[in-house]
A and B are shown apart, each in its own frame.
Chain A
Amino acid sequence: MLFPFLIIACLTLASAAVAMMLRNLIHSALLLVLSWAGIAAFYLWAGAEFIAFAQILVYVGAISMVVLFAVLLTRPSRDVDLPLPAPTVLRIASGLMAAAMVASVLLTAVLATRITGGRSHAPNLTVKDLGALLAGPHAASLLVVGVILTVALLGAIIIAAPAPAERPEDQP
């Protein structure tokens, strides 16, 4: 039971770490997609199939495409694939130190906690149950999420749209 988990964990952590160290933005984005797919595999392993497919649809499908478009639209030069300039040593050292401190706090907290009880097998939750929950007790939250998504979409279009004078089709 634990062997698939260890493979998934190693794959996810390794691809995320390498993605954050690479200098080429496109390679980083593609490795992060692999890491998100690893997280989806973890959800499958844990028995949350619906969440796993939602993760694949949203992250591996949609967000990765948006990220790749943003990377390609904001390249400094269209022809050469310039590597990013290296961050300064002070910035790297302080960032890594902060992350290491958070990591040590989290590790000690997790390792010092004794966990008793809990389930030994995955709770039986079908998509039908999930739909009933979303349409029943959580219907208000579902509506709020819909409003948030609509507002975020409109806001993203307004922010990213060029100013009216820049649009070529508006020129006389």
Chain B
Amino acid sequence: MSPLHLCLLLSSGLFCIGLAAALTRGNAILVLLGIELMLNAANLNFIAFWRFGGGPAATGVVFVLFSIAVAAAEAAVGLALVIAVYRHRKNIRLQEVNSLRG
């Protein structure tokens, strides 16, 4: 088993932990953190392929830089939404925030 395999297994594990958290937890902040974990797992794959793959020299690193910047923007907007929901309903349990449900 090559190091690239091990890196891919690590990132698959992180992705699935994030997915399980986003699907099972009811608290909006924990769901957002699960999504952040999934994004991190994707970044980890980029770096793994940059280090052990045979592609061009810097593409993975540049892509991860942009990905981290977009993830930061996403976290800021997501947590602002959580605070806005809390202000309206005094609660951030996703099961109870259902006014948009069709």
Interface size on B, residues (CB 8 A): 70
Chain A residues positioned under 8 Å from B2 (CB to CB): 115, 118
**Residue from B10, B54, B65 in contact with A9 in the complex, judged by beta carbons closer than 8 Å:** B10
- Do A20 and B29 have beta carbons less than 8 Å apart? no
Query: Given A35-B37, A87-B25, A115–B90 Cβ distance below 8 Å?
Result: no
- A92: Cβ under 8 A from any B Cβ: yes
Chain B facing A: main interface SS: helix
Tell me the residues in window 12-52 of chain B with beta carbons closer than 8 Å to chain A beta carbons. Answer: 12-21, 23-27, 29-30, 32-34, 36-37, 40, 43-44, 47-48, 50-52
**Residue from B23, B36, B47, B86 in contact with A42 in the complex, judged by beta carbons closer than 8 Å:** B47
A46 to B61 CA separation, bound complex (whole angstroms): 11
- Do A13 and B33 have beta carbons less than 8 Å apart? no
Q: Nearest chain-B residue to A51 (Cβ)?
A: B64
**Residue from B26, B29, B51, B75 in contact with A74 in the complex, judged by beta carbons closer than 8 Å:** B29
A51 to B61 CA separation, bound complex (whole angstroms): 7
Q: Mark A153-172, 1 if CB is under 8 A from B, else 0.
A: 10111011010000000000
- Do A153 and B76 have beta carbons less than 8 Å apart? yes
- B3: Cβ under 8 A from any A Cβ: yes
A95 to B19 CA separation, bound complex (whole angstroms): 8
- Do B9 and A107 have beta carbons less than 8 Å apart? yes
Q: How large is the interface on A (under 10, 10 to 19, 20 to 34, 35 or more residues)?
A: 35 or more
A170 to B11 CA separation, bound complex (whole angstroms): 50
State how many angstroms separate the Cβ of A44 from the closest Cβ of chain B.
Answer: 10
- Do A119 and B54 have beta carbons less than 8 Å apart? yes
- Do B75 and A63 have beta carbons less than 8 Å apart? yes
A interface vs B, CB < 8 Å? 1-2, 5-6, 9, 12-13, 16-17, 19-20, 25, 28-29, 32, 35-36, 39, 42-43, 46-48, 50-51, 54-55, 58-59, 62-63, 66-67, 69-71, 73-74, 76, 84-85, 87, 91-92, 94-96, 98-100, 102-103, 106-107, 110-111, 113, 115, 117-119, 122-123, 125, 129-130, 133-134, 138, 141, 145, 148-149, 152-153, 155-157, 159-160, 162
The 4 closest A-B pairs by CB, nearest first: A95-B23, A152-B73, A95-B24, A99-B20
New A-B contacts (12) at CB < 8 Å, excluding given A13-B17, A96-B24, A159-B81: A5-B6, A12-B14, A16-B17, A32-B37, A42-B47, A51-B68, A66-B79, A70-B82, A71-B29, A99-B20, A156-B76, A156-B77
